[in-house]
Amino acid sequence: MPAPPRRQPPKSKYTADRNIPGAFEGETVTRRRFMTLGAHTAGAVAASAFALPALGFAAGSAIFERPKVRWEAVGVPDEFPDASYVPKVITTVAGVGEVGKTTVYIRRYNPDIDTEEPAGAPFVVLSTRCMHLGCPVRYTEAAQRFICPCHGGVYDFEGKVDGGPPVRPLDRFYTRIRNGQLEIGPRYSVNGALKRFPSYRDPGQDLDGIGQYLYPGRFSTPKLDS
């Protein structure tokens, strides 16, 4: 009957005992392995820096209670034409004075011009916040364009990007008619095809392609059925 195989003694934890080239006395981890672990750790930290904010925003949208929707009357419907814009000042953040106010441009929906129906009443309400870095844009009647004076962003009559660095069209606002008045509600964002997203994104956040998944909506956006 053959003798059972001899049990091999466990390997030493010290690199010098294992005859590893360049090992130091008392060393338990090789320099190559140490550098490999360090590179993997740095990669994990870098990946977390991108993933955790997105996960936080996504989780926040489902966990935290959103603020109440505010509606503000801006005038009678007949005040707004369908071939030009009328500027109005509205309050987007209550309780902070002039800082919480912004200018919006309003016109009636025109099926001969518009490629996407607005959300709510048949009116188009565009934000003046440039989708590059947030500078205020102005509507130029002669050119029928919205122009940002900061970095040369240009938007066409519908608010789509026509030139410069902006990554998406101008944000829009929900609308409704109440007691004979046109009322403006929360802001929402659109992508290059004017597809509506229920909440808004910050300037510089592209909503086409993978961008719509990288930049989830803010959980501080007022909750409104889409």
> What pLDDT score does 132 carry?
94
> What pLDDT score does 57 carry?
58
Q: Around Cβ 131, how many Cβ atoms within 10 Å? A: 29
What's the rounded Cα separation, in Å, for the pair 103 and 29?
A: 63
> What pLDDT score does 54 carry?
63
Which has the closest alpha carbon to 222: 70, 55, 38?
A: 70
Long-range (24+ apart) CB contacts under 8 A made by 12-17 are: none
> What pLDDT score does 98 carry?
84
Superfamily per CATH, domain 72-214: Rieske [2Fe-2S] iron-sulphur domain (2.102.10.10)
Tens of pLDDT, residue by residue over 139-193, are 999 999 999 999 999 999 999 999 999 999 999 999 999 999 999 999 999 999 9
> What pLDDT score does 55 carry?
65
Six token digits for residue 44: 């994990």
pLDDT by residue, tens only, the chain of 226 residues:
566 666 666 665 556 556 565 555 655 555 666 677 778 888 888 877 767 666 665 555 555 566 678 899 999 999 999 999 999 999 888 888 888 899 999 999 999 989 888 878 899 999 999 999 999 999 999 999 999 999 999 999 999 999 999 999 999 999 999 999 999 999 999 999 999 987 788 999 999 988 888 887 765 555 555 4
What's the rounded Cα separation, in Å, for the pair 43 and 32?
A: 17
Backbone region of residue 172 per phi and psi (left: phi > 0; alpha: psi in -120 to 50; beta: other values): beta
Which has the closest alpha carbon to 184: 111, 102, 96, 129?
A: 102
Q: Find out whether 121 and 76 touch, Cβ atoms under 8 Å.
A: no
Six token digits for residue 204: 């510089």
